[in-house]
Amino acid sequence: MDAVLLFDVLMYVERADRLALYQKLITQCLVPNGIIAVVIECNNPNSGWPSILKRLGKPLAGYYEDVEKEMLAVGFSIVYSQDIWGTDDLSNYSENEVKFLQILADNEASKQEIRTAIADIYKRNQLSTYHKKFAIFKK
């Protein structure tokens, strides 16, 4: 294959599984000069969604900094990277966002636990800043 897109995926994959994935992609799946495009959270202690998941006992499995080191170690090179900054506001969240967080927490947190975590982390009228990175790695 020519390209693999991994947008907001790798942060939920444990390190050993990420390493196995990279190895398979570089040795079996990607054509010469094939690319992997990723978007992933950077390690930002003030980012809301990761903070909520950590509070619920389900911290992210990896951040951009981890993924970059791992991909370089198996033989990929970086051809492009771009920081993505933005804000989240969950001070007026929907039930769909609660359900989504419940799925991300492997259904081990109650809706009330999620609502409490949101209320603690997203104070009224307070935005949370997130930092992600878009990067392209080449075989």
Q: How many DSSP H helices and E strands does the chain contain?
A: 5, 4
What is the torsional sign of CA 32, 73, 36, 83?
Answer: negative
Residue 96 has a pLDDT of: 95
**Nearest residue to 95 (alpha-carbon basis) of 109, 114, 108:** 114
Look at phi and psi of residue 97 and say left if phi exceeds 0, alpha if psi is from -120 to 50, else beta: alpha
Q: How confident is the model at residue 92 (pLDDT cuts 50, 70, 90)?
A: confident
Average pLDDT of the chain, as a whole number: 93
Whether the model pTM is above 0.85: yes
Residue 40 in this model has a pLDDT that exceeds 80: yes
Distance CA 27, CA 44 (A): 32
The side-by-side arrangement of strands in the sheet containing 128-138 is: 3-7, 35-41, 128-138, 77-88
pLDDT score of 122? 82
63 phi and psi angles, rounded to 5 deg: -125, 175
How many Cα atoms sit within 13 Å of 127 on the Cβ side?
6
Identify the structural domains of the chain with CATH numbers, from first to last.
3-87+128-138 (3.40.50.150)
Over 90: is that where the pLDDT of 82 sits? yes
pLDDT tops 80 at residue 123: no
